[in-house]
Structure 1
C-alpha cells in the first residue's frame, strides 16, 4: 500500500464527474456517502445508541462508518481490535462554495421579467455569475419532515449584464455591482408575479404533489460541465473546486486505506458545511459535530474519558482546502519568494498569525506523508501587504485541541463560478492523503 502515485489522471477524470454531480453541499455528501457505501461503509444514525450493549449498534464494531447531517459528513474506519485510545488521522474539508441562494420569498420581478430573489452566500467573484446559464439545486423539506434533493441541471436562470452602451465607463472604471439590485436572476416573462410559483415548479420537477414542500435550501449553479483545458489538456476548469476537490480526494483516500488491519490510527474524513461564511453552524467546523462523533466512537468501543483524552492528544488533522497559485498577470500580489505553481504538487499553507494552523511539527508530518507517497509539495504564504484568508484548520485545532496542518491545491480564479487547477494536482493530493491516513 505504500507504492507512490497509486492514483493517477483517472482520479482527475472522476473528480470532474463528482463536481458535475454535486451542485450543492447536500448533493456532495450524498455522492460521498454513495461512494463510501460501495466501499463497505455503513451509515450510523446520531439518534441511535452507540454503546456495545445495544442490539444492532454498529458503531461499536470495527469497519467503516459514516454520519450524515445536512451538508456535512463524518466518515471513519475502525481497524479490527483498535483500542479505545487509538488516535485519529483526520482529513478535514468543506462542502460549500460561494454562490447565489434563494430567499424565503423567492418570487419577484419587474417590467415584464419574472425573477428569483437571491441572497449572496460567502464571498463570490460576483462578476463571474453574470451572463451564465444557471441551474437550480438544493434540498426540499416536505410536510412530513423528510427531505428530497432537487437538481434542475439545465439552463433555467440568468443574471444579465448591463450592455456597454448603457454603462460607457465600465471598461475604464471597472464593473460595480450592487448586491441587492444587480444580481437577481431572470427565469421567464410575465407581469403577474405569483407567490409560490418557483416552489410549485420545483414540486413538479421532483414529482411531488402541490403544497408538499414547506421548507427549502436552494442555490444556483453554472450548468457548464467541467473540462480539460490547454494545448496538452494539462489544466482543468470547473465549478466548486474550492472545496469539493478536497472532499473528493478525502473520500478516495479513506476508501483506499479502509480494510487495512495494521493501521496505527483510525482514519477519518470530516467534510463540513458553511466554511465560506464562518463555520458557525451545527454542520460547520465550529460546531460540535466532529467532536461528538469522535468521542462517541471512543465510548462505543468501551473507552473512558481518559481514553478520549489520549486519543485526541495523539490525533493529527490535515485541513485540506484550495490555495492561490501564482497568477501570471498579477504576480506582484503574491509573496515574492513563494510562487506555488499548478501541477507542482499540493501546497503547505503557513501564516504566523494562525490564520492557518500549520507549525513546524505539523510541517514534518506533512513532509513525511508526501515523501512516503512520492509526491512533491510546495509552500504557500501570503504577501505581507495582503490580508490572509483562513480555513477550518485554526477552528479545528482550537475547538478540539488537536494538531492541525493546513494544506491544499493551488488554483486560479478562486471563488469564481468556474475555477482552474492543474490536471495532475488532484491525484497528487489524493496520494499524499492516502499516505497520511496510513500513518
Structure 2
C-alpha cells in the first residue's frame, strides 16, 4: 500500500463550512451544486432535451442531486462509477398546521422525522430551515440560523424517577418546542414570520418543508483537536467527500476510464421511497438519458449498467469506549483509522467479496487504510441505500463509510482525518 496521504486540514475545515451551511437537504444539494458549478459543471433540466456533450452536468430535484462527468473518449456503453449518499438526517419537522401553544407558551407543532436520538434535541438552541413553496410555483430556501426554538426538558424536581428509571419521552407530548410567550395563538403566525424574514408579501407562501436544526456550529474537539463534532454528519460527511472527489477527478486532466457519478438522495432515513429517494427512478432515469444522449441504444444501456459499480457511502459505528460489548468482539472500528467496509450477510449492506476487492483496490491506489464493520450477532443491523441501489438497478454495490459516535444525535462525533481519507479513497474509485 502507498503511504497514506498527508492530512489536509483544509478539507475538514471545508466540511465544517458545508455542514453549517446545509441545515436541510435542500441547502445540502444547493451547496454541492455551487461547488460543482465552480468546477465547470452545468445544471441540466429534466424537462429539456439533453445533448451528448462532454464535461460535467448535474440534475437537481428537491433534496437530491445527480452529477456526472463525461470524459473525452467516452462511448455510449462506457460504464459508470457511482458514489451514492443521502442528504437527509433525523430531526424535528414542522407540521402542516404549525401554530400551537398552551399555558402562556407559544409553540411550534413538529413531527419526528427518521429515528433521532430524542434526548439530544432537549434544551438545545434550535433554528429553522427548509424550503418554502410560493404562490407563483417557485421555491425559496429559508434558514433562520439563530436561536429561535427550544424543547425544554422537565426539571428533575418534577420527575425524580428519571435518575433511577431513565428518561422516557412521549413523541407527541414532550418534543414540541417553544418559541415565544402569549395566549393568543393564531394560525399562520409562523409562516407570516418567515415571510417577513425573507421580505415576501403576506400570503405568498402556500407550502413548506421545514425542519429544526441545532445552531451550534461544528467544532474541533480534544486536546490536539483530533476530533470533529457537528450536526448531520450522517450523512452530509459523505455528500461532501463525494462532491470533492468528483470535482478532483473532473479537473485532474487525466480523463477517468469510467463516467464518474455523484448520486445524493433524500429520504434515506425513512425508507427511500420517494421521487427523490434511492428507491425511486431518479438515478436510473439520469443514467439512461446520459447513454441515449450520447447516441446509445438499449443494448449500450445494458452494457453500461452491467459494468457499473456503486459505492454506497454512509456513516457507520465506531467502537464506543463505554459500550464496547455492543460491538462485534473481532470488529472494533476506530476513529481516524480509515473508512469502513460494511458487511452483512443478510444483505442489510450490499457488500460481497467481489465488492471488497473493488474497495480494497481503490484504497491501495490512494494509500488510504480501511477497516471492516460487521454487527454484533445479538444486535439488529441498520441498512443503507446500498441494497436498494443494487436491487433496483442491477448494479454491483459496495457499502462503505466513516466511523462515528452518537449517530442520529443532533450532534455527532468523528475523527478529524477520516473525512479527508474517505475523499481520497472515493477519488481513486471514481478514476477507475
TM-score, normalisation: structure 1: 0.97
Within the alignment, does 1:275 sit opposite 2:261 as a pair? no
**Tell me, what secondary structure is at the counterpart of 2:410?**
coil
Q: Distance in 2 between matches of 1:417 and 1:41?
A: 33
1:303-382, aligned counterparts within 5 Å? 303-382=296-375
Q: Which residue of 1 aligns with 2:245?
A: 253
1:223-242, aligned counterparts within 5 Å? 223-242=215-234
1:33-432, aligned counterparts within 5 Å? 33-50=33-50, 59-259=51-251, 260-432=253-425
Q: Which residue of 2 aligns with 1:55?
A: none
Aligned-pair distance for 1:253? Answer: 0.1
**Tell me, what secondary structure is at the counterpart of 1:60?**
coil
Aligned-pair distance for 1:5? Answer: 2.6
Q: Distance in 1 between matches of 2:312 and 2:255?
A: 24
Aligned-pair distance for 1:262? Answer: 3.2
2:7–2:417 CA contact under 8 A, matched in 1: no
2:352–2:398 CA contact under 8 A, matched in 1: yes
Aligned-pair distance for 1:7? Answer: 6.8
TM-score, normalisation: structure 2: 0.98
Q: Which residue of 2 aligns with 1:5?
A: 5
Which stretches of structure 1, 4 residues or longer, exceed 2 Å deviation after superposition? 2-7, 259-262
Q: Distance in 1 between matches of 2:6 and 2:311?
A: 20
**Tell me, what secondary structure is at the counterpart of 1:35?**
helix
> Number of residue pairs matched?
430
1:240–1:417 CA contact under 8 A, matched in 2: yes
2:4–2:369 CA contact under 8 A, matched in 1: no
Aligned-pair distance for 1:9? Answer: 1.7
Within the alignment, does 1:26 sit opposite 2:19 as a pair? no
Per-residue Cα deviation, 1:186-232 (whole angstroms, up to 9, x for no partner) = 00000000100000000011110100000000000000000000001
Aligned-pair distance for 1:267? Answer: 0.2
- RMSD (Å) for aligned C-alpha atoms: 1.0
Per-residue Cα deviation, 1:174-193 (whole angstroms, up to 9, x for no partner) = 00000000000000000000
Aligned-pair distance for 1:49? Answer: 1.1
Q: Distance in 2 between matches of 1:254 and 1:5?
A: 18
Where structure 2 has 5 or more consecutive residues not aligned to the other structure, the ranges are none
Aligned-pair distance for 1:81? Answer: 2.5
Q: Distance in 1 between matches of 2:52 and 2:431?
A: 22
Q: Which residue of 2 aligns with 1:54?
A: none
Q: Distance in 2 between matches of 1:124 and 1:434?
A: 31
Per-residue Cα deviation, 1:35-81 (whole angstroms, up to 9, x for no partner) = 0000000000000011xxxxxxxx41000000000000000000013
Q: Distance in 1 between matches of 2:4 and 2:76?
A: 31
2:311–2:399 CA contact under 8 A, matched in 1: yes
Q: Distance in 2 between matches of 1:103 and 1:250?
A: 32
**Tell me, what secondary structure is at the counterpart of 1:291?**
helix
**Tell me, what secondary structure is at the counterpart of 2:123?**
coil
Per-residue Cα deviation, 1:17-46 (whole angstroms, up to 9, x for no partner) = 000000000000000000000000000000
